[in-house]
Amino acid sequence: MKITVIGAGNVGASAALRIAEKQLANQVVLIDIVEGIPQGKALDMYEAGPVDLFDTRVFGSNDYKDSANSDIILITAGLARKPGMSREDLLMKNTVIVRDVTTQVMKYSSNPIIIMVSNPLDVMTYFAQATSALPKERVIGMAGVLDAARFKCFIAEALDISIQDINALVLGGHGDSMVPIVEYTNIGGIPLNQLMPREKIDALVERTRNGGIEIVNHLKTGSAYYAPAASAVDMIESIVRDRKRIIPCTAYLDGQYGISDIYCGVPVKLGKNGIEQIFEIDLAPAELEALRHSATLVKQSCSDLEKLLA
Q: Domain span at residue 165?
A: 144-309
159, 299: one domain? yes
CA distance 290 to 69: 40
CATH of the domain at 225: 3.90.110.10
Which CA distances in Å does 248 have to 14, 53, 109, 239? 21, 31, 26, 14
238, 274: one domain? yes
108, 68: one domain? yes
149, 129: one domain? no
**What is the DSSP secondary structure assignment for residue 138, as one 8-state letter?**
G
- Determine the pLDDT at residue 78: 87
- Determine the pLDDT at residue 258: 97
132, 203: one domain? no
Q: Pick the residue with more confidence: 196 or 175?
A: 196
- How many residues are there in the chain? 310
- Determine the pLDDT at residue 83: 65
Decide which of 111, 141, 171 is a domain's last residue: 141
Taking residue 303's Cβ as centre, other Cβ atoms within 10 Å add up to 11
Count of CA atoms in the C-beta half-sphere (13 A) of 276: 14
- Determine the pLDDT at residue 93: 85
Map residue 292 onto helix, strand or coil.
helix
Decide which of 141, 159, 193 is a domain's last residue: 141
Express each pLDDT in 8-63 by its tens digit.
Answer: 999 999 999 999 999 999 999 999 999 999 999 999 999 999 999 999 999 999 99
CA distance 136 to 81: 27
106, 250: one domain? no
125, 214: one domain? no
- Determine the pLDDT at residue 234: 98
The residues pairing with 191 across neighbouring beta strands, listed in sequence order, are 186
Measured distance between the N- and C-terminal CA atoms of the chain, rounded to whole angstroms: 37
114, 202: one domain? no
Map residue 208 onto helix, strand or coil.
helix
Asked whether the predicted pLDDT for residue 87 surpasses 60, the reply is no
The verdict on whether 218 is a catalytic residue reads no
Contacts of 86 (CB under 8 A, 6+ apart): 175, 176
Considering the candidates 2, 150, 152, 174, report the single residue annotated as catalytic: 174
Closest to 301 (Cα-Cα) out of 122, 176, 69? 122
128, 229: one domain? no
Closest to 126 (Cα-Cα) out of 252, 259, 6, 236? 252
Decide which of 141, 165, 195 is a domain's last residue: 141
CA distance 303 to 310: 11
Q: Are 171 and 144 in contact (CB under 8 A)?
A: yes
- Determine the pLDDT at residue 67: 98
Cis ω for the linkage preceding 120 (within 30 of 0):
yes
The residues pairing with 2 across neighbouring beta strands, listed in sequence order, are 27
Look over the chain and give the mean of its residue pLDDT values, rounded to a whole number.
94
63, 119: one domain? yes
Continuous H helices in the chain: 10-21, 37-46, 49-52, 91-106, 121-132, 144-159, 198-209, 211-219, 226-240, 285-309
Based on the structure, what is the number of domains in the chain? 2
- Determine the pLDDT at residue 91: 82
Q: Are 274 and 140 in contact (CB under 8 A)?
A: yes
270, 285: one domain? yes
Average pLDDT of the residues in 131-147: 96
Q: Are 221 and 82 in contact (CB under 8 A)?
A: yes
116, 164: one domain? no
CATH of the domain at 75: 3.40.50.720
Average pLDDT of the residues in 188-207: 96
